[in-house]
Amino acid sequence: MALDDLAANETSGLVCAHHHLYSALAPGMPAPPRTPASFRDILELVWWRLDRALDLEMLEWSAKLGALEAIESGTTAIVDHHESPNAIEGSLDVIANACAEVGVRVNCSYGVTDRHGKESAQRGLEENRRYLASGGTGMVGVHAAFTCESDTLLAASELAQNYGVGVHIHVAEGTDDLQANDRLKDLSREDWLLVHGVHLEDDHGLNGCIVHNPRSNMNNSVGYAAPHRLGLPIALGTDGIGAAMLEEFRIAYARLREHDVAATPELPWSWLETGYRIIPEAVNDRVTWSHGPIDPWRLAFQTNIKPQLVEIDGEVVYTEGQLTRADAMEIRTKAAEQAQRLFAKLENMV
């Protein structure tokens, strides 16, 4: 097992199987124009305003901040899902370069959607194509079936197949997306990432890997996915709320246990390990933790364990509380400046 056959206080690098690095600047953002009363409201009043406000400079520092926070949490690989409808072209390179500079592995995708019109969906598809054609590590991103026409879903599926990668898509996160099951049934393949799956039927008939994001699901009040009922491999993601995967494991365990008092932490621990199916190289990364042993039953309840040393691809990228490749202080300062620009834009947005 990748996570627990090493030295007593070591693991492989952890994998965040669903992230939105563009949201790293969001903490502290101005309140939405009115209090959201539903998941759809949260999307429309918070996230779909934030993504429209992003430019490439904000994105660069948001991605660097997110990459820094990942490494500080022992997470060496991020599967990112990105949207910035007013800064599409080149956005995946900005994210990939930002992560490379900090030293974290990333798998990028642009979330295609028809909610800004056909032309914007085409540009999103083209950004995925351009990035993959240039040799970038990634997948084809789709926001979700409920914001896409059927021809867009088909085009994304074909594009992914052409490049030998899967589609990374939100599926049945809320009740707005109940049709996802039927609409994706004939398209989905084993290499797809089906994110959330909260409202999928047990006998959904989809192919792929479910990515469970327990804290995000609770925050959005969409319900409990109980992902182990879905009959597919399950990985863990944060849905953009940092990349602290031991913490997400603890939340996954607590939420599972609330659902089933007989459940053990070994099940959500196995969900962490599924991340290596998506970014296999991370299994060779090393994290030395402040103390051991690395044991799901202990870690489900020990909340203060921290990485001391992080090695990615044989290189030490974090030691004694410091990044080795990039200047964490500079990243935090520049990210704070970009956050102020972003917040000012949001204040003025109608």
Contact residues for Zn ion (CB under 5 A)?
A: 239
**CA distances from residue 236 to 50, 66, 227, 274, 297 in whole angstroms, order as listed:** 24, 17, 10, 8, 18
Q: Given the complex with Zn ion, which of 116 and 286 has the nearer CB atom? A: 116
Q: Given the complex with Zn ion, which of 170 and 286 has the nearer CB atom? A: 170
Max alpha carbon distance in the chain (Å)? 55
CB 23 → Zn ion: shortest distance, Å?
A: 9
The Cα 163–Cα 12 span in angstroms is 28
Establish whether the linkage from the previous residue to 293 is cis, with ω within 30° of 0: yes
In single-letter form, the type of residue at position 146 comes to F
Q: Given the complex with Zn ion, which of 43 and 339 has the nearer CB atom? A: 43
Task: Extract the tokens encoding 341.
Answer: 């620009």
- Which string of DSSP letters, residue by residue, matches 51-67? HHH--HHHHHHHHHHHH
CB 18 → Zn ion: shortest distance, Å?
A: 6
Q: Given the complex with Zn ion, which of 239 and 273 has the nearer CB atom? A: 239
The Cα 140–Cα 115 span in angstroms is 17
CB 195 → Zn ion: shortest distance, Å?
A: 6
CB 210 → Zn ion: shortest distance, Å?
A: 13
| Contact predicate 258/38, CB 8 Å | no
Q: Given the complex with Zn ion, which of 157 and 216 has the nearer CB atom? A: 216
Task: Extract the tokens encoding 220.
Answer: 């959005």
| Contact predicate 232/208, CB 8 Å | yes
CB 244 → Zn ion: shortest distance, Å?
A: 16
CB 239 → Zn ion: shortest distance, Å?
A: 4
Q: Given the complex with Zn ion, which of 77 and 287 has the nearer CB atom? A: 77
Task: Extract the tokens encoding 61.
Answer: 């520092």
Residue number closest to Zn ion, CB atom? 239
